[in-house]
Amino acid sequence: MTRITQSTRLEQVEHILGSRTNILDFAVKGENDYYTWDESEDADWTIEDVDYVENVEEDRFILYLQGEYFTCDIEASREEGNKGPVRCWCEESKDK
C-alpha cells in the first residue's frame, strides 16, 4: 500500500475500494499495491461513472466503473485526515 500524502492524479484506475473507516484505495493498472487516501470524516469526494458497487465485507465495498478506467484527481497534504476534494471519472483508454 502506498499512502497518498500530496495532491496527485491517478490514471488507469481499475476499481476503487472504499470503507466506512474513511479510506479509499485505488487499484491502478500494472501496480501490485493499492494507492491509499485517508480522509477526514467530512471529506469531499465524488466518483462518477460507477457501474455497480459490490460489498466485500461488512464495512468494505468496491466501486466498478462504466468505462475502461477511472482518472482521479486527489488532493492530499498529509498521511491521514485529508479533506479532499477527490474527483474520479471515466475516460476512454489511450491504448485504443
- In tens, the pLDDT along 10-62 reads 999 999 999 877 899 999 999 999 999 999 888 999 999 999 999 877 788 99
Instruction: Scan for cell 455497480, then name that residue.
Output: 52
Whether residue 61 lies inside any domain: the answer is yes
pLDDT band at 96, cuts 50/70/90?
Answer: very low
What does the pLDDT read at residue 93? 44
Distances from the Cα of 27 to the Cαs of 55, 59, 73, 86, in angstroms?
Answer: 16, 18, 14, 15
The number of folded domains in the chain is 1
Whether residue 96 lies inside any domain: the answer is no
Query: SS3 sequence, the chain?
Result: CEECCCCEEEEEEEEEEEECCCEEEEEECCCCCCEEEEECCCCCEEECCEEEEEEEECCEEEEEECCCEEEEEECCCCCCCECCCEEEEEECCCCC
Whether residue 21 lies inside any domain: the answer is yes
- Beta bridge partners of residue 86, listed in sequence order: 45, 74
- The domain of 36 spans 2-91
Whether residue 71 lies inside any domain: the answer is yes
